[in-house]
Amino acid sequence: MTSPPPPDRPPFRAPASPAQPGVGGRFGRGAKPPSEGSPPSKKRFGAVVHALGEVDSTQAVARALADDRAPEGTVVTAEHQRAGRGRGGRSWLDRPGEALLCSVVLRPAIDAAEVPQLALLAAVAVAEAVEALTGLAPGIKWPNDLVVEDRKLAGILAEAATDSRAVTRVILGMGINVSQREFPVDLAARATSLALLTGREVDRGALLDGLLTRLEHWYDIYLDHGFKPIHAEWCRRTVTLGRTVVAGGAQGTAVGLDHDGALLVRDAAHRTHRVVAGEVLDAPGG
Ligand code: BTN
């Protein structure tokens, strides 16, 4: 496991009283309002945190802030989403106060085709933050679901705006199940939470703090060195490789993660398929 560096700033605290819906402009993670004249934090991620009450989706709020020139690393959190978004057009449901729901504004100089790598990067960061706080070691199910005992603990959504092929901004959304003691019937067999896994309450503020620290760590590595270091760490933490899967129209054994983040699936005829998007399902009888 890669351990996080010691915190060098006061932790972010979730709002004590219900936050107002809408863009509230809270300064979190120890950052001070600029008018106080304090030196700017070295850390970009979470220097500005908009900790909100109820929103449609933190993705939508972060996108509006990004369109209004919010700096890279701006974070939006919410107690509850009325219309949380998941991958593949699915919805992401939560009950107030039970999940860590956050979106981060990124402005990487990458091509549109590379955006999924940021979601893989985020999966590594979420796994590390959870491990540091709880001792659990979530596995990564391709591409970026965090699972424990085959149940989903967290999901990640990377939404990009592009200008031709170049990315102008990415909103990286992460939802982590924290305090749920039960799930709706249709999810109960497939979902889990930190409370269920540890038997105790986990502090969402501390989790956010650890997550932003690891996210910024890997993001800086990504900008400097590309995807290769993240590839290695993702492979170390994945539960997908070696499994018999159905993905992107291919059925076979997941044998590797390609240099760009595509899943490599080898079928019964020993042909290798590159799967660039979609879900991984366990193959029948696999
Ligand atoms: C998935 O596994 O399908 C991705 C789920 C992503 C959910 C998070 S919660 C915070 C952010 N806001 C959203 O509407 N979605 C993401």
Tens of pLDDT, residues 159-205 = 999 888 889 999 999 999 999 999 999 999 999 999 999 999 999 99
pLDDT surpassing 90 at residue 144: yes
| Local structure of 24: helix, strand or coil | coil
- Which segments within the chain are labelled E, that is strand? 49-55, 75-81, 99-106, 139-141, 145-148, 151-163, 166-177, 244-247, 250-257, 263-266, 272-275, 281-282
What is the structure's pLDDT at 9?
A: 35
Model confidence band, residue 278 (pLDDT cutoffs 50, 70, 90): confident
Atom of ligand 1 at shortest distance to CA of 175? 9
Separation of CA 10 and ligand 1 centre (Å): 26
The burial class, CB within 10 Å (0-12 / 13-18 / 19+), for 75 is buried
Separation of CA 102 and ligand 1 centre (Å): 8
What is the structure's pLDDT at 164?
A: 83
What is the structure's pLDDT at 42?
A: 67
Taking the C-alpha atoms of residue 256 and residue 40, their distance in angstroms, rounded to an integer, is 42
Using the structure block, give the residue that is written with the tokens 């991958």.
87
DSSP 135: S
Give the pLDDT mean for 266-275: 96
Residue from 59, 140, 192 to probe ligand 1 pocket by mutation (most atoms less than 8 Å from CB): 59
Taking the C-alpha atoms of residue 39 and residue 187, their distance in angstroms, rounded to an integer, is 46
pLDDT surpassing 90 at residue 31: no
| Local structure of 56: helix, strand or coil | coil
What is the structure's pLDDT at 168?
A: 94
pLDDT surpassing 50 at residue 149: yes
Question: pLDDT tens, 45-91?
Answer: 999 999 999 999 999 999 999 999 999 999 999 999 999 999 999 99
Separation of CA 84 and ligand 1 centre (Å): 6
* Cβ of residue 59 lying under 6 Å from some atom of ligand 1: yes
What is the structure's pLDDT at 286?
A: 57
Atom of ligand 1 at shortest distance to CA of 94? 9
Give the pLDDT mean for 134-143: 97
| Tokens matching residue 240 | 């997908």
Taking the C-alpha atoms of residue 105 and residue 221, their distance in angstroms, rounded to an integer, is 17
Report pTM.
Answer: 0.86
- Whole-angstrom CA distances from 129 to 78, 106, 161, 215 are 19, 19, 27, 9
